[in-house]
Amino acid sequence: MLVHLRRSIVVAVFFLVVCGLAYPLAGTGLAQLAFHHQANGSLTADGSTLIGQQWSGPQWFQGRPSATVSPSGKPNPYDAMASGASNLGPRSKVLEQHVAARAAALRKEGITPTNELVTSSGSGLDPDISPRSAYAQVDAVARARHLPRSVVAHLVATQVHQPELGFLGEPVVNVLELNLALSKLS
Amino acid sequence: MGYFWTIVVLVAVLALAWRFLGSYLAAVYEGRVTYLRFVERPLYRLLAVDPEAEQSWTRYAGALLVFSAVALLLSYLLIRIQGSLPFNPQHLGAVPPALSWNTAVSFVTNTNWQNYAGESTMSYFSQMAVLEVQQFVSAAVGIAVAVALIRGFARRGSSTIGNFWLDLVRGVLYVLVPIAFLAGVVFVGQGAVQTLGGPAVVHNALDGATQTIARGPAGFMEAIKQLGTNGGGFFNANGAHPFENPTGLTNLLSIALLLCIPVALTYTFGKLAGSVRQGVAVLAAMTIIFGAWLGVASFAESQPNPAVTATHAVAQPQGNMVGKEARFGPLSSSLYNVASTQTSTGSIDSANDSYTPMGGFALLTGMMLGEVTPGGVGSGLYTILLFAIITVFIGGLMIGRTPEYLGKKIQAREVKLAAFAVLVMPLVVLVLTAVATSVHAGRAGPLNAGPHGFSEILYAFTSQANNNGSAFAGLSGNTAFYNVTGGLAMLFGRFAIIVPTLALAGTLAAKEAVPAGLGTFRTDTPLFTGLLIGIIIIVGGLTFFPAVALGPIVEQLSHGRLF
């Protein structure tokens, strides 16, 4: 028993050093050298392209609703310190109310709601929407910015990311990249 | 079409892992891989372990239990004092006692149930030097037990089943660290974060908003989280978080990583314990059940979400997008979460709680089958071999002959040990679910009303007793009641199965081989695979059907009703 205990302690310390310090710190060193941009969060001057943001006003393309909640328990969309989903079940009345309210708000802005634009994501930080959801906002954005519809629609088309290798995942539009391109347009 | 090719590529990768990783594992645990001798030798000297000496099953189990207890205590202490330790840019304080207990048990038992949000609770030191360490070590312990059981079948008249210290060290050094490191590079290259720099504050000049973004050394943790079928993410949102799982490529890599060792071990098993065909028979049973459950979940999630449908506000052409990321969509998400629930990983790339009733059914019942399809690293193989013993026993009853498996006579002691080990998990799940639904502290947990609230409780104990770690995450688990009971479920679900499994390894190793005769029931045939599938489903189904009927099934049948 005692010999097991002594060995256990030595091995636990050995693994703490190898797996808990050497492995992640070597990984961090390599990542910072080889993938500096990605390893630090894919940051641009206006935010991370991997972390969604709350966009205010009809002059910007909107992302998905976010279910993130501040530490005090209040809804705080796109709180990147508190990722998470709504966890509302498939027959939840609360979910129905959230979706209905979001759909009504979109219609008020002149946007025909799409599936993603009324449902919150798993992370609450989804940086993307589907191309369909981007096209659904073209009219509203063009109107707010006094731009020809065709110009905005063309902009969306240039921003569609196809699935990697043609089959991994879904085609998406990154909302931050799209809005950056939009800001350069006008 | 994209989904079809995703599955084709996954199957191809797993076929290669089965053959080559499988034979590599055999070589590692037979001591034929030696390129890290220069690390091993001084360590064994320090431990006073003779690399040639072996242990009886009791000594092997004793070493495993003492080591796990030390790991548990050390993990608990370190997260309790994380406030005074380095790598803590957010100045996070001590983790409270009940939560520390639950978390320490969770990572030592390879469960990775998380009653906390990583980015706001755990310092970088805790994430790396406590949780990540256990993600390596608990995985190596699981593989060690499986290898010990394989030796039990392979050996004739032997009093020993291997050396725990060697199996543990070799699993970490030769298998887990190298593969995880390579995968970690891919994760980071694709966009997973790996920094010690603390949260970033960004100001968006376009519309004037400021955002603070949690970061950390997440990318390399993601690799071992998946490879070791652990599932505990750096961030609260787990594999749905773009900093853990940024692209379609990392999504597929995650799935391949968590399946590769459990699948490869069936080759290792066949190679060492008789013939590769024996391993194929077991793998076939795993694959058929996995495929059926994947089909159910993929179909269910490509259907509309009932609550969204009830608004009549929007079409749902892709299917259920509630709790799913746009870059993955319902199909790839289903694949990820089915793979993760059936390997005892428990990571998620979409919110389980918001799956359709039948999608949630597939996730929940996938665990209820005992995590054998293909199950966790090591634990999947040793648990399905327990089912295999019960299968040959029932086959033997039918023809009135003492059953054999891999040349070993299966007698009363072996059947008792296997039956005991198989019944531990259902007992823990059903008793604790019953307790939770009968006391106020338990009923206070669920977020959702109606049958879904019951499903959240049932899911929590099913997940913890199976060492899975995924959740119907609406449940508020960070309470004294759920932290303590969940910790007990995880401990029993792990060690009350490991100890009888090692006892079984010991008695099997001591037996002499019986030559296969005309009356021997062959265990490398489709007939055996079919019987094995039947036993797994009947045991799981009979035990859990009443409970599941009260949760996902009644929810599915409640057409037009919301709760």
Rounded to an integer, the average pLDDT of B239-264 is: 98
With respect to residue B307, please indicate whether it lies within any of the assigned structural domains: no
Q: How many domains does chain A have?
A: 2
With respect to residue B316, please indicate whether it lies within any of the assigned structural domains: no
| Residue B474 domain boundaries | 379-557
**Angle at alpha carbon of residue B374, lines to B239 and B536, rounded to 5°:** 125
Please answer whether residues B171 and B33 qualify as being in contact, where contact means their C-beta atoms are separated by less than 8 angstroms: no
Q: How many residues would you count in chain A?
A: 186
With respect to residue B353, please indicate whether it lies within any of the assigned structural domains: no
One domain, residues B28 and B169: yes
How much is the CA Rg of chain B, to the nearest whole Å? 23
Q: How many domains does chain B have?
A: 2
One domain, residues A30 and A87: no
pLDDT at B1 over 80: no
Q: Which two tokens stand for residue B490?
A: 């995880």
**B78-92 pLDDT per residue, tens:** 999 999 999 999 999
Interface of B with A in 480-539 (CB under 8 A): none
With respect to residue B195, please indicate whether it lies within any of the assigned structural domains: yes
**Angle at alpha carbon of residue B463, lines to B369 and B388, rounded to 5°:** 25
CA distance B464 to B487: 8
| Residue A152 domain boundaries | 44-185
A53 φ, ψ to 5°?
Answer: -135, 160
Put simply, the answer to whether A16 touches B129 (Cβ < 8 Å) is: yes
In whole angstroms, what separates CA B554 from the centre of its chain? 27
The answer to whether A21 faces chain B, any CB pair under 8 Å, is yes
For A129-138, letters b (16+ CB in 10 Å) and e give bbbbbbbbbb
**Angle at alpha carbon of residue B117, lines to B112 and B118, rounded to 5°:** 70
Put simply, the answer to whether A19 touches B172 (Cβ < 8 Å) is: yes
Q: Provide the pLDDT for residue A186.
A: 65
**Residue that the structure tokens 């909640």 belong to:** A69
Which chain B residue lies closest to A48 (C-alpha atoms)?
A: B202
pLDDT at A72 over 90: no
The answer to whether B348 faces chain A, any CB pair under 8 Å, is yes
One domain, residues A99 and A115: yes
**A57-68 pLDDT per residue, tens:** 899 999 999 999
One domain, residues A77 and A48: yes
Residue B303: pLDDT band with limits 50, 70, 90: very high
The 3-class secondary structure across B5-29, one letter per residue, is HHHHHHHHHHHHHHHHHHHHHHHHH
CA distance B117 to B122: 8
Q: Provide the pLDDT for residue B541.
A: 87
CB-nearest to A81 from B119, B310, B325 is B119
Q: Provide the pLDDT for residue B515.
A: 87
One domain, residues A103 and A63: yes
With respect to residue B129, please indicate whether it lies within any of the assigned structural domains: yes
The answer to whether B317 faces chain A, any CB pair under 8 Å, is yes
One domain, residues B33 and B167: yes
With respect to residue B77, please indicate whether it lies within any of the assigned structural domains: yes
CB-nearest to A81 from B67, B120, B192 is B120
Using a CB-CB cut-off of 8 Å, the residues of chain A touching B237 are: 83-85, 122-125
| A173 bridge partner residues | A129, A160
Put simply, the answer to whether B189 touches A46 (Cβ < 8 Å) is: no
Q: Provide the pLDDT for residue B11.
A: 98
Put simply, the answer to whether B555 touches A183 (Cβ < 8 Å) is: no
Residue of A5, A13, A28, A165 to mutate for B, most B C-beta atoms under 10 A: A28
One domain, residues A71 and A16: no
Put simply, the answer to whether B448 touches A51 (Cβ < 8 Å) is: no
* B520 SS3 class: coil
* A168 SS3 class: strand
One domain, residues A165 and A142: yes
State whether the Cα torsion B397-B401-B407-B408 is positive or negative: positive
Q: Amino acid letter at A163?
A: P
Using a CB-CB cut-off of 8 Å, the residues of chain B touching A41 are: 193, 195, 200, 213, 215, 243
One domain, residues A48 and A34: no
Rounded mean pLDDT of chain B? 97
Torsion of CA B132, B138, B142, B143, to 10 degrees: 50
Please answer whether residues B282 and B268 qualify as being in contact, where contact means their C-beta atoms are separated by less than 8 angstroms: no
Rounded to an integer, the average pLDDT of B287-294 is: 98
The answer to whether A62 faces chain B, any CB pair under 8 Å, is no
**A74-109 pLDDT per residue, tens:** 999 999 999 999 999 999 999 999 999 999 999 999
With respect to residue B346, please indicate whether it lies within any of the assigned structural domains: no
**B51-67 pLDDT per residue, tens:** 999 999 999 999 999 99
One domain, residues A116 and A163: yes
Q: Provide the pLDDT for residue A113.
A: 97
CB-nearest to B357 from A1, A48, A90 is A90
The answer to whether A111 faces chain B, any CB pair under 8 Å, is no
Rounded to an integer, the average pLDDT of B100-127 is: 98
Residue of B64, B314, B337 to mutate for A, most A C-beta atoms under 10 A: B314
Using a CB-CB cut-off of 8 Å, the residues of chain B touching A99 are: 307-308, 311, 313-314
Concatenating the DSSP letter of every residue in B267-329 gives: HHHHHHHS-HHHHHHHHHHHHHHHHHHHHHHHHHHTSPPHHHHTTT----SS---TTB-TTTH
A150/chain B closest Cα distance in angstroms? 23
Q: Provide the pLDDT for residue B274.
A: 82
Torsion of CA B239, B384, B263, B180, to 10 degrees: 50
Q: How many residues would you count in chain B?
A: 563
B55 φ, ψ to 5°?
Answer: -120, 150
Rounded to an integer, the average pLDDT of B280-296 is: 98
pLDDT at B399 over 90: no
One domain, residues A23 and A50: no
B64/chain A closest Cα distance in angstroms? 9
One domain, residues A49 and A28: no
Q: Provide the pLDDT for residue B193.
A: 98
CA distance B333 to B322: 11
A158/chain B closest Cα distance in angstroms? 17
Please answer whether residues B544 and B426 qualify as being in contact, where contact means their C-beta atoms are separated by less than 8 angstroms: yes
One domain, residues A86 and A70: yes
Using a CB-CB cut-off of 8 Å, the residues of chain B touching A5 are: 66, 70
Residue B302: pLDDT band with limits 50, 70, 90: very high
Using a CB-CB cut-off of 8 Å, the residues of chain A touching B191 are: 38, 42, 50
With respect to residue B343, please indicate whether it lies within any of the assigned structural domains: no
One domain, residues A27 and A51: no
The answer to whether B553 faces chain A, any CB pair under 8 Å, is no
Using a CB-CB cut-off of 8 Å, the residues of chain B touching A122 are: 237, 240, 323-325, 333, 348-351
Rounded to an integer, the average pLDDT of B201-226 is: 95
CA distance B520 to B501: 24
% of residues, chain B, pLDDT over 90: 95
